[in-house]
Amino acid sequence: MSSYPYIVFPQLLLNFIAENSFEDNKAVSGQKNHGKIQNFLVKQAVKGELMIISAVPKWSIFRHILLKLPIGLMSFAAALICTIKGVDGGLSLLIEALVAIVIWISSYIKFRDTPATIANHHDVNFSYQSEKKQGLNRLKKLKMALAGKVKKAVGVSNAPLGSSERAFKAVVEEYFPGRVSSQLEFPVSINGKQYAYSTDIAIIFEEVGLSIDVEIDEPYDYKSRRPTHCIDDPADARRNQYFVENNWIVIRFSESQVVMYPHSCCKTIAKVVSRVTLSQRFLKDLHEIPDLQPYPMWTKRQAKKMAGARTRDSYLPKTVH
């Protein structure tokens, strides 16, 4: 039996992921021989956790100040010795200068960045820039692939949102600000009759055209106790097909999942976005959130039993009961 979350990709996006996976793997494998520290930096940069990588270590300036400190102290000591022994002032200055030059040269040779070290720093910076450029190129390709091929809503449904939908929408907006809508309406003809599908929650990335329909499935209607979203009813399958044929991703959660684990549900959405774009942007804030555990789908018979046991009462807020 299938389980929630139930995720369906349109064929266009499956093709896009397959066609671009070779480039992604090649770029990653190309970093393997740069050393453990450099690999770590590159991985952090890909994750978006390392925004700036300098070609020269930040501690270099402080280090060179420390290196020059002994020069001043030794010069002062040389001048003091020359004064005590009565050495001529000009000769004293010459000795100071010679001592300072010798110390500076020896310290520079000992502690300066080697060509290999500098090259490694530049390699890390180059790797980061390459990954960043590759990411931008992928988004451009994605935008071109989706251009004019994603179905647009014709309006907004006036059907009221349920309490679980409203609460979950508020959480989704925390992680995907400016991209979340609800009750977008799409006209459809079924057996010669006109209907309209409306989204529970839609997440639309206008910058690339990526669109996700997020549905919240409850096992039965709260008032009538009529079974809903059953796997032996083809209604949801037809609806899924409509959206994926129009190049929307469909993600279905059970109502209990979005009520009890809304942040984990958002992590699932962020993983789907990352799978298509390779961007870790929306996953960063969800790093500490546990992964969503699967929840089994139900048949009509099981939904009737759940209605009889008033299963929804166990997780819905008291105000809904």
Are 228 and 266 part of one and the same domain? yes
Domain end point (choices 130, 146, 162): 146
Looking at the structure, do residues 236 and 194 belong to the same domain, yes or no? yes
Q: Are residues 252 and 137 in the same domain?
A: no
* In contact, 221 and 228? CB cutoff 8 Å: yes
Confirm if 216 and 258 have CB atoms less than 8 A apart.
yes
Query: Are residues 178 and 300 located together in one domain of the fold?
Result: yes
> Which residues, at least 6 apart from 291, have a Cβ–Cβ distance to it below 8 Å?
264, 267, 268
Work out the mean pLDDT of the chain and round it to a whole number: 79
Q: Decide if 24 is inside a domain.
A: no
| Residues 46 and 72 occupy one common structural domain | no
Which pLDDT does position 37 carry in this prediction?
33
Q: What is the per-residue pLDDT across 105-138, written as a single tens digit (0 to 9) for each? A: 555 444 444 444 444 544 445 555 677 788 899 9
| pTM score, whole prediction | 0.69
48 with 92, same domain: the answer is no
Asked whether residue 319 is domain-assigned, the answer is no
Residues 138, 226 share a domain: no
Q: Quick one: tokens of 286?
A: 């969800």
Do 182 and 202 contact (CB within 8 A), yes or no?
A: yes
Q: Are residues 157 and 252 in the same domain?
A: yes
Domain that holds residue 160: 3-16+151-314
Which regions of the chain does DSSP assign to beta strands (E)?
A: 3-4, 6-8, 155-156, 180-181, 184-190, 193-198, 201-205, 210-217, 249-254, 295-296
Count of the separate structural domains present in the chain: 3
Task: Classify the phi-psi angles of 189: left when phi > 0, otherwise alpha if psi is within -120 to 50, otherwise beta.
Answer: beta
Assigned domain for 277 exists: yes
Does residue 198 share a domain with residue 124?
no
**pLDDT value at 54 more than 60:** no
Identify whether residues 168 and 260 lie together within a single domain: yes
Amino acid 192: pLDDT: 85
pLDDT of residue 82: 58
pLDDT in the model for residue 119: 45
Query: Do 9 and 49 reside in the same domain of the chain?
Result: no
166 and 287 fall within a common domain: yes
Q: Is the pLDDT of residue 234 over 80?
A: yes
Tokens encoding 159? 């059907």
